[in-house]
């Protein structure tokens, strides 16, 4: 599959690098307003190719996106220290007005994969601007938050995070909802597994993991300016599900008709992802508190999205 990446900054280039390491794409085209940056990133990534794959990596312009099956939208301004993802809204919405039109002019059949923050609202913006059906405009959503959740649970339980099945729902941001009540390790409920291995999930443990998931981005941004490796790998994982029609269950964001009585809102729940984009939405069983938290998250995102004027 040919994959386009618009935005050759740290997120876009990390996604390109991950795609090469995972040998997913036959060709990757990097497009950026800063043409020198796109050329440099493509050249650097291409030097990793002989070690792992045969992917063609090059810089190009919007017309070079013709034939792409997926175009990753990583264009926009970076999150500043102390700035919430939602505060990025007005700055990045303006960028998308131009980008989406240019992409669809040359790659009208591509699935759009949104990485720019605030990602849920930018997914809603891209869906409106493109006129594409929601299942073909996918935000990375909480795929990274879910990975952080599983990583911290695996660390506590002293098992591989790949054996942890737990999801973060709602916004990729401050109102996200950790799905504790339906989390499992192997085929066993999280609580039962934790007790059996002598690593109980106490309130203190829950608070520590919640903080680790919810505030991970802020800690990383304060330390090095931005986050990119984790989301780069997450984006590559979504592309793999599409490229190979794997029909994987991933926590990604699309505009959803109704979530907790909130209509027409982009947020994350587990979804089946394959060659045609999102094939099905899966709403996990939640406890009362999690239902309320998800409703609040949806309402916040809905209010923010409605504030954008087109």
CA distance 254 to 265: 8
CA distance 66 to 5: 12
* Cis-peptide into 239, omega within 30 deg: no
Residue 287, both tokens? 């406890």
Q: Is 131 left (phi over 0), alpha (psi -120 to 50) or beta?
A: left
* Tokens 């900054």 found at: 9
CA distance 308 to 171: 17
Tell me how many degrees the CA angle 100-128-71 measures, rounded to the nearest 5: 35
Which residues are part of the catalytic machinery?
A: 172
Half-sphere exposure of residue 112: CA atoms within 13 angstroms, side-chain side = 37
């Amino acid at each position: 599959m040919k994959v386009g990446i618009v935005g050759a900054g740290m997120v876009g280039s990390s996604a390109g690098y991950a795609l090469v390491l995972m040998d997913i794409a036959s060709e990757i085209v990097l497009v950026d307003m800063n043409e020198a940056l796109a050329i440099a990133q493509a050249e650097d990534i291409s030097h990793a190719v002989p070690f792992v794959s045969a992917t063609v990596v090059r810089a190009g312009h919007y017309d070079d996106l013709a034939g792409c099956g997926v175009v990753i939208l990583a264009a926009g301004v970076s999150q500043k220290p102390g700035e919430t993802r939602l505060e990025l809204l007005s700055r990045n919405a303006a960028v998308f007005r131009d980008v989406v039109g240019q992409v669809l002019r040359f790659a009208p059949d591509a699935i759009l994969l949104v990485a720019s923050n605030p990602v849920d609202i930018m997914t809603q913006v891209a869906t409106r601007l493109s006129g594409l059906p929601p299942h073909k405009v996918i935000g990375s959503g909480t795929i990274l938050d879910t990975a952080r959740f599983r990583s911290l649970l695996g660390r506590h339980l002293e098992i591989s995070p790949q054996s942890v099945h737990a999801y973060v729902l709602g916004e990729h941001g401050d109102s996200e909802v950790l799905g504790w009540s339906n989390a499992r390790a192997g085929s066993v409920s999280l609580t039962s597994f934790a007790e059996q291995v002598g690593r109980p999930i106490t309130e203190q443990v829950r608070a520590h993991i919640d903080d680790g998931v919810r505030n991970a981005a802020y800690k990383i941004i304060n330390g090095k300016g931005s986050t990119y490796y984790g989301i780069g790998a997450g984006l590559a994982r979504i592309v793999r599900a599409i490229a190979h029609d794997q029909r994987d269950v991933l926590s990604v964001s699309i505009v959803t008709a109704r979530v907790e009585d909130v209509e027409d809102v982009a947020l994350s729940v587990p979804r089946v992802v394959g060659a045609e984009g999102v094939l099905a939405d899966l709403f996990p069983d939640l406890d009362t508190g999690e239902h309320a938290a998800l409703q609040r998250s949806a309402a916040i995102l809905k209010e923010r999205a409605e504030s954008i004027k087109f």
